[in-house]
Amino acid sequence: MGWTRADLLDPKLSEQDRKDGEQVIKNFMANDTWANRIFGKVGILLTSHPGNRVFLRASVESHRKLGYLICLYYDNYINPEHEAVDYNSIMPGKDVMDNIDVFTMGHWQTWGGVLYPYFWALKWGITVLQDFEYIYCSNGDFIMEKPEGFPKLLELLGDDDIMSCGPVRERSVNTCGFIGKTKAVKAIVQHFQDHFIPFEVYEKYTQEIGNAEGRFGRAIKDLGLKHKIVESADDEQWAPAKGAWYDLVGYRHLHAELNRAYKNKWLPPELKYLDTRYMNTWEVDIFKKFEEMKDIEVLKGWWIKE
């Protein structure tokens, strides 16, 4: 029989029983800090992998501020042929795990490229979140600098079925981030599956449909879904300070910003958004020195050489 707060008022309780009961109730009530997120209208799916750990902590921290339940789908790099694999060299840090509500990881995969693991991230992540009215999905190297603007982003979707962070091409939809009605997102993923699994089906449709972006675009067209198209940056959200998602929630692609800064001699993302546990020490030292001195000359030791 469980404890209730009314039980603690029983004058016949011994002091020890009262202390035990208080602790049990305290433990149960502590779960409300995360369990009540199941009543929100939005479920968050973040997709990531070991190679993205530099950015994952900031992504989770920024999305946690939305107050919705977070499911992290983490791509499985644990090759069973490598018996000596150290899980600590692959898995997210404890501080990251403490900030998510559901962790999912699929079967180890041998498929090259991102298409196969991304399908399973959607398949299992959306299964976890299927009872929410809306699903918001983002790659785990994106952050929201202005999470307080999310209600306006959701309002922008309106009565449409799905909205991508953009851009939208003639035959493809950017999958870096999207918000959709759960019924519509589930239908898109089922369409994805129907044209993807098993390999014979993949062979049949791959030249016709193409990558994940193409599969989203084809599904939206075939299913007759209402697609909200908004102003956006380029395909990988390289350019910060551009597009509806950036304007409303400060949506930034840290990984792309870092790569582009290195290649084009630009400023890197702020060090506070980078998890230095997974960076080269010399690189961290340069970034720290740059932020302290505000001298662009410091970055010359990091930028790609001619």
pLDDT at 278 over 90: yes
Q: Is CATH 3.90.550 what the domain over 33-235+243-249 is classified as, yes or no?
A: yes
Q: What is the pLDDT of residues 70-120, one digit of tens each?
A: 999 999 988 888 888 788 889 999 999 999 999 999 998 888 789 999 999
Pairing of strands 134-139, 102-104: unpaired
Q: What is the pLDDT of residues 239-268, one digit of tens each?
A: 556 789 999 999 999 999 999 999 999 999
Residue-level pLDDT at 235: 55
The token pair at 245 is 């998602």
Partners of 227 in the β-ladder: 162
% of the chain surpassing 70 pLDDT:
96
Q: How far is CA 203 from CA 198, 199, 207, in A?
A: 9, 6, 8
- Find the mean pLDDT for residues 170-179: 90
Cis amide bond preceding 240, omega within 30:
no
Residue-level pLDDT at 234: 63
Greatest C-alpha distance within the chain? 82
Residue-level pLDDT at 29: 94
77: Cβ contacts below 8 Å, ≥ 6 apart: 49, 50, 90, 108
Extents of the domains making up the chain: 33-235+243-249, 254-301
